[in-house]
Amino acid sequence: MPCVKHAGAPLENATFDEENMESISEFAEQIISCGAHRIVLSGPRGEKRYKKSTFSLVNGQYFIERLTEKQAFHEYCEKNEAAMRICSDFEGYTQVNAWNGEREFTAKLTKKGNLLTGSRACTAAPKAVESQNRKKKYILAEGTVIPPLADMGVMASNGAVHKAMYDKFKQINRFLEFIDEIVKDEAVDGENNDAEKKPMRIIDFGCGKSYLTFIVYYYFTFIRKIPVQMTGVDLKEDVIDFCTKLAEKYGYSNLHFQAGDIADCAADEAIDMVITLHACDTATDYALYNAVKRGAKYILSVPCCQHELAGKADYAALPIFDDNGILRERVSALITDSIRQKLLTACGYRTGLMEFVDLSHTPKNLLLRAKKNELARTYPPQRIKNG
């Protein structure tokens, strides 16, 4: 790319003229087509909010980081949207530097309002990012500002996760990884190629304070840009009222909350996915039954305390367990989860039990994953419920 000079408006003016906009648009298209893996916009003009914006190519998408004096804001965009985003952001800057591994591309707005573009071979280009966060590999990078979670005390206003909430933040990120696998499978199956596709319908049973609910909604809406209709269900009316107001405050129009007992929830509407994170005791079982009745395509469930079997099981033949309360509780929990898995298999699901997170973060570390298998032999849910 030769160095080109474009006449334009004076630098102190807040807006680009038509010629500069056309030139930066051509520049943005070119650097994307040349495979730029890192793009940095710097030199803020006037009293603009952001001091620097960085576009990093990560797993086929651009991860965008915009910095203010005290905060970092993150989002993703597809490659075919990147040039438009660069043009939009550049109105607040005077310089762009981009690297594709072989060359550095530059665009600079001079004090006289002229736009200079060029490229050169480079030997010290920034390395391509292999993953968004190589150390932790979180879908939500630390520093990602999710306003409702700041209001709920999970993170500070700058996106920094509070120390006391770090284990919870890690659990939720791990849960997102399982959901992300489902989303990728959907894409492989071609189900996301339909422009008229209906929103994905998701219920979070036993949502509690709804940390997971808000993050899953954020993931679909702002990271994956997949339409979603999501509902959180919990017994506590005050918590549901708080979460409802929070969703309204941030304009999350497709996120709703409902107060009620999971055991009493009607199962008359179809659903795509049911999730539970530490729904206590038999609440997990009612959630799984509801999911099967609704024909949920996907189920992701991390059980919590499980007292039902522990209080009824007779371990007289296995005194090694029977005289130790902790062992009795844990063996009963494992048996309960195994029964849940077998019942879901009988209802036509491909199932798996896997470690959720390391035991150092929570002892409740098993996740039950199920995907509807339309070809499998199934049994009526009512028969399963009645044993």
Residue type, 241: D
Mean pLDDT of the chain: 80
Provide the 10 A C-beta neighbour count for residue 156.
13
Read off the tokens for 311: 């209080």
Say whether pLDDT at 360 is over 60.
no
Say whether pLDDT at 149 is over 60.
yes
∠ CA 271-276-282, rounded to 5°: 105
Say whether pLDDT at 33 is over 90.
yes
CA distance 364 to 333: 10
- The predicted pLDDT at position 83 comes to 92
Least confident of 15-19, 24-28, 112-116, 318-322: 15-19
CA distance 348 to 293: 12
Least confident of 271-275, 276-280, 382-386: 382-386
- Per-residue confidence band for 312, with pLDDT thresholds at 50, 70 and 90: low
Which secondary structure element, helix H or strand E, spans residue 227, and what is its range? none
Say whether pLDDT at 4 is over 60.
no
Read off the tokens for 145: 């500002």
Beta bridge partners of 277: 302
Least confident of 18-32, 54-68, 308-322, 337-351: 308-322
- The predicted pLDDT at position 134 comes to 44
- Per-residue confidence band for 378, with pLDDT thresholds at 50, 70 and 90: low
- Per-residue confidence band for 299, with pLDDT thresholds at 50, 70 and 90: very high
Q: Can you tell me the mean pLDDT for 15-31?
A: 81
Task: Using DSSP bridges, classify how beta strands 366-372 and 349-355 pair: parallel, antiparallel or unpaired.
Answer: antiparallel
- The predicted pLDDT at position 237 comes to 94
Q: Fill in the DSSP letter of residue 269.
A: S
Q: How far is CA 93 from the centre of its chain?
A: 30
Note the pLDDT tens digit of each residue in 83-131: 999 998 998 899 999 998 889 999 998 888 888 999 998 766 566 655 4
Q: Could you give phi then psi for residue 205, rounded to 5 degrees?
A: -85, 135
- Residue 155: which residues within 8 A CB-CB, separation 6 or more? 145, 146, 149, 161, 162, 165, 169
Residue type, 223: I
Q: Can you tell me the mean pLDDT for 238-258?
A: 94
Residue spans per domain, the chain: 4-121, 163-386
CB hemisphere CA count around 177 (13 angstroms)? 15
3-state secondary structure of 52: strand
Q: Can you tell me the mean pLDDT for 313-323?
A: 66
∠ CA 78-82-86, rounded to 5°: 155
Provide the 10 A C-beta neighbour count for residue 355.
10
CA distance 209 to 236: 9
Specify the CATH superfamily of domain 163-386. Vaccinia Virus protein VP39 (3.40.50.150)
**Entry pTM:** 0.62
- Per-residue confidence band for 5, with pLDDT thresholds at 50, 70 and 90: very low
8 Å CB contact between 230 and 256: yes
